[in-house]
């Protein structure tokens, strides 16, 4: 029963002779646009550009193969989380969850409007206790320095 394979990964890759006759190609212009969007350097030579386009095309072949799957009625997965009712209940934000923050506000004035009290010190749970400026390649006083002129790497 399991002697002959019914499917191979090779079906997801374009076979060599499948040239670009039927499917639309990626133009160099599109490649450059994509590289610019991703802040990647443009190809160094025409042969590098050709190989980039070829790689991209084989990847797109794979993507089209995946897109053949029928997904009507299936909600796209954004990330793996507990989607059960219990999980949703646990994740929901209620008055109880915000009790501490709600205690730090007062209702003031003639119209009884809410106002967050500013005299309470804010607990940042140690998130600020590291030397942020130590990571600066260039700094002036307490500021990070960035060069903004054109032609700057």
- CB-CB contact of 61 with 10 (8 Å): no
Distance CA 93, CA 89 (A): 9
Residues from 49 through 88 that contact another protein (CB under 8 A):
76, 78-79, 81, 88
CA distances to 16, 20, 23, 32, 50 from 28, in Å: 21, 14, 16, 6, 9
The span of 22-30, 45-53, 55-63, 136-144 binding another protein (CB under 8 A) equals 136-144
- Both structure tokens of 78: 């954004």
The span of 1-9, 10-18, 67-75, 107-115 binding another protein (CB under 8 A) equals 107-115
Distance CA 42, CA 119 (A): 53
Give me the 26-45 binding string for another protein, x by CB under 8 A, dash otherwise: -----------x-x------
Pick 50 or 104: Cβ nearer another protein:
104
Identify which of 60, 61, 63 has the alpha carbon closest to the alpha carbon of residue 15. 61
The span of 14-22, 45-53, 66-74, 116-124 binding another protein (CB under 8 A) equals 116-124
- CB-CB contact of 62 with 13 (8 Å): yes
- The residues that touch another protein, with contacts defined as CB under 8 A, are 37, 39, 76, 78-79, 81, 88, 91-95, 97-98, 100-102, 104-105, 107-116, 120, 122-125, 127-128, 130, 132-133, 135, 140-149, 152
């Amino acid at each position: 029963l399991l002697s002959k394979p019914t499917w191979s990964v090779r079906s997801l890759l374009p076979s060599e002779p499948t040239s670009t006759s039927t499917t639309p190609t990626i133009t160099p212009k599109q490649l450059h646009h994509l590289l610019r969007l991703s802040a990647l350097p443009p190809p160094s030579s025409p042969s590098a550009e050709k190989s980039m386009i070829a790689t991209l095309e084989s990847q797109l072949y794979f993507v089209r193969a995946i897109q053949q799957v029928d997904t009507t009625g299936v909600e796209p997965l954004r990330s793996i989380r507990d989607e059960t009712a219990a999980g949703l209940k646990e994740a929901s934000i209620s008055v109880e969850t915000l009790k501490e923050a709600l205690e730090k506000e007062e209702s003031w004035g003639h119209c009884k409007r809410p106002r967050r009290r500013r005299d309470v010190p804010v607990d940042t749970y140690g998130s600020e206790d590291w030397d942020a400026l130590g990571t600066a390649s260039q700094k002036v006083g307490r500021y990070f320095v960035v060069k903004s002129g054109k032609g700057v790497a």
